[in-house]
Structures are given as structure tokens and as C-alpha cells.
Structure 1
């Protein structure tokens, strides 16, 4: 069933790029849409003409970017009546360097502070709205998706976890906030890719997800904000510990 999502996540990710680095930013936006679950494995990207218009790039630039993303294993082209560019069913594993120089603490704190402000605010704003039935369904579906990831599917968990957090921003009905959350989540995922994904933490996170979503659905803005803050604090502790 189709779900109305207010400010659609695709609109937040597929927004105009800057002309000076049109190719590079188009590649970035395509990968962001895939890694955040805006376009899921097996799903088709928007039609080329539509996508080029959304990104404000030429179709030549878009084709070059899609080719680069395809060469990296993230998408594939299919011919025929129902053809187009589809996200690969089996996505490449996120790069996890065996060795890396320690990240500057100030850089990590900058990302985490921005995320904390944006996502706690998004949870509070979502709970304060009168949500439509489709908004409510959207949150419940995303919550169920991430809670249903089987053991050993770490990459899938990261994608669906990102998608739930982005859904919370979507139901605030603020396109600007949704775009900002998408951008900061991409930065956070780059940090998370450098540390182990722990089974105990996944279980704990799922419990916290449930608390956040239920607070939003019940219209309890303060509880939603506090629950989201507690959830983010757990991730922050792991990142500070490992990095």
C-alpha cells in the first residue's frame, strides 16, 4: 500500500546540487539515498528526466553519476518495458578501514551535537503535530522493519535504522528539517562504519526506538524528546569509546 509521507524523504535527498561540483554531488546524493534507505534494494530510482530536474543537473551529468555508482555495485540498469535504474539487491559492504588515524575529538563532537539538536527537536516536533493516518502507518512500518532485522545482517540494520530516524523527521512536515537530518545522518553513519555493530546495543536500540515512536504517536512531545536524547546518548558513548 502506498504511504503518504508529508515532506517525502526523496525530496529531501534529491534536491538541487551545486553546479561547481555537479558530478561529485550527484554521486553523493545517489549514494545517500541508497544508504539511508530512501530507495531500498530492488527499488527503481526516479526516471532519468525527473531525477535530473530534481537535482538540477544535465542528463549527461546524471548518466555519468549513475554509471559511477553502478560500477561501484550500488545500482544496475534493466532494459525493457519495466526497465530503469534499480538499486542492487545485494549492496556492497560499507567500507570499514582496518587502520585509521584517530578522528579529532572536536570533529566528532561537532557531528554529534548537530545530530542531538536536530533529532531531539524532530522527535518533539513530530509528537506535537496532529499526525495523519498515513504518517502513523509510516512510523509503524519503519519501526517494524528495523526491529525485524535478523542476526548477522548488520548492514541492513544500519540502513533501516537510518530510515526510521529519517521517517521521524519526515512526519514533522518540515522539508528543511528532513534535509538536515538526512545530511547529518550520513555523517554519523560514516563514523559508525568505523566501529563494531554490537548485538546487545541493537536490542537496546530497538527498545528505545519503540519508546520514541510510541511517544510520538501518543502526542507526548516531552517524552519523545527525552527518549530520543537517551537513545542518541547510547550511540554517542560507543563512538567516543571506540574513536
Structure 2
């Protein structure tokens, strides 16, 4: 991955249109953006990627020409990810993923490891420090994640809320900030998890076990589940690179 430092913009210092194109194609390959899903508004996406809006617009135009996205006009418009890449699109995707992930792969692997260690610590601490208010927030968040099912947007937002609830239960703002920073570091600068239905099916029982362990004040079980659970995004990134070489 372009394993940028947490506080640096993802395309630095080569903030070229092609670099942004590569980042977005890789995000599609990783399933940060699912087929049929609308991309964030240009202002938000430019801020996430650390680039200017003109650079982002030029990158989106290139993605449209190459068949990765389509733009719809009007009040309900936006830029939408297309599904079913053709042969030419697959070749372009392979090249973009390689350019984005390979140069700093060893640093990215260290970031994967660090993230799982930190998230295990957060879960352990949450199990030790949680309050009745934390417990209620965790129960509500887990129920919402169950209802989200296979919907990408709903699953992402409820997943984020559940993990925010775990972080809050640890009662340490520095750990909360570090959790968010590490997610961006391992996931192309984006602060949400990739989504596929298979990932949701894998995550749901882990979420249930994690919440149960925190509520039961079982610190070591909570840590073990979190350490396993936070391999999902790592596995999704690894799979994108593996598909290039297969």
C-alpha cells in the first residue's frame, strides 16, 4: 500500500492525477467502494485523499473514461462505481493496485500488526472499564449492525458505531484517536472498513463475541476476539494484491 504516515496526505508529494486515479482504483479493488455504490461528494473525497478538487475532478474523469465509474446529473446525482470490470479494466486495475500497494508493502505489514495489537488493547481496556452507559451503547450498536445485513452503506456506518462504542468504553481519547489513525493508515487513507457480504458474515459473530466479552468484563477474551477481528481489512487488502499476481 502507499503506506503514508498517518498525518501526511495520501498522494504526497506526487499529487498527480494518475496517483489519485491509482488510489481510487485500488479502493474499488479492496471494496472500500462496492459495485453500485456512490462515491462520497467531491469535497469530502478530496479532503480524504489530501488533494485539490480540480485534481480529483480530473481523476474522476479518467475513471469514467476507463469504465470504473459513471456520473449521474441532477439532485440525486453523483459518481457511482460500476460493476463487472472488463478485460481492459482488469488490466488497469492490476497496474493501479501494484503501483499503490507494492512500494511500501513491508511498512504496511507492520501497520497491520500494530493495528491488531492496538485494537486488542482497546478491547481489553473496554472490558475492564466499561460503565452501564457504555453497555447500553454497545447493545444498541450491535443490534443496528445485525439489522444492516448485506447493505454496504448501512453495514459500514453501524460497524463504525460499534467500534466507536468499544473505544468509548475504554475511556481513553488517545486510544480512540490512534484507532482511527491506524484504520486510515492501512486502508488507503479512508476511515471506514472495506465491505463485502462475506466480510459482513465473518464480522457478525465476532462482533457478537466482542460485545459479550466486554459486557462480561472478560478482558482477555475481548482482546483475543479483537485481535482476530481486525484481520478482516488486512485480509481484504492482501487479497487485492494477491489477485494481481494470480
Bucket of the pairwise TM-score, normalised by the shorter protein: 0.5 to 0.7
Gap change, CA 1:139 and 1:188, over 3 Å in 2: farther
The correspondence of residues 35-114 of structure 1 with structure 2, limited to 5 A, is: 68-69=43-44, 99=93, 100=96, 101-103=99-101, 104-114=104-114
**TM-superposition CA deviations, 1:45-70 (whole Å, max 9, x none):** xxxxxxxxxxxxxxxxxxxxxx9449
How far off is 1:191 after superposition? Answer: 7.1
Gap change, CA 1:236 and 1:71, over 3 Å in 2: closer
The 2-side partners of 1:208 and 1:143 are apart by 11
How far off is 1:196 after superposition? Answer: 6.9
Q: Which structure 1 residue ranges, 4+ long, deviate > 4 Å from structure 2?
A: 67-72, 90-98
The 2-side partners of 1:220 and 1:209 are apart by 14
Q: Which secondary structure does the structure 2 equivalent of 1:190 belong to?
A: coil
Partner of 1:145: 144
**TM-superposition CA deviations, 1:95-145 (whole Å, max 9, x none):** 89973224131232133122112111000011112x222110111111122
Partner of 1:207: 205
1:225 to 220, 223, 226: 223
Which structure 1 segments of 5+ residues have no match?
A: 1-66, 73-89
Partner of 2:134: 135
Gap change, CA 1:159 and 1:231, over 3 Å in 2: same
Gap change, CA 1:102 and 1:147, over 3 Å in 2: same
Is residue 117 from structure 1 mapped to residue 103 from structure 2 by the alignment?
Answer: no
Is contact 2:142–2:208 with CA below 8 Å preserved after alignment? Answer: yes
Q: Which has the higher helix share?
A: 2
Gap change, CA 1:93 and 1:202, over 3 Å in 2: farther
Partner of 2:164: 166
Is contact 2:183–2:190 with CA below 8 Å preserved after alignment? Answer: no
Gap change, CA 1:110 and 1:71, over 3 Å in 2: closer
The 2-side partners of 1:189 and 1:91 are apart by 26
Is contact 2:194–2:236 with CA below 8 Å preserved after alignment? Answer: no
TM-score (norm 1): 0.55
Partner of 2:196: 198
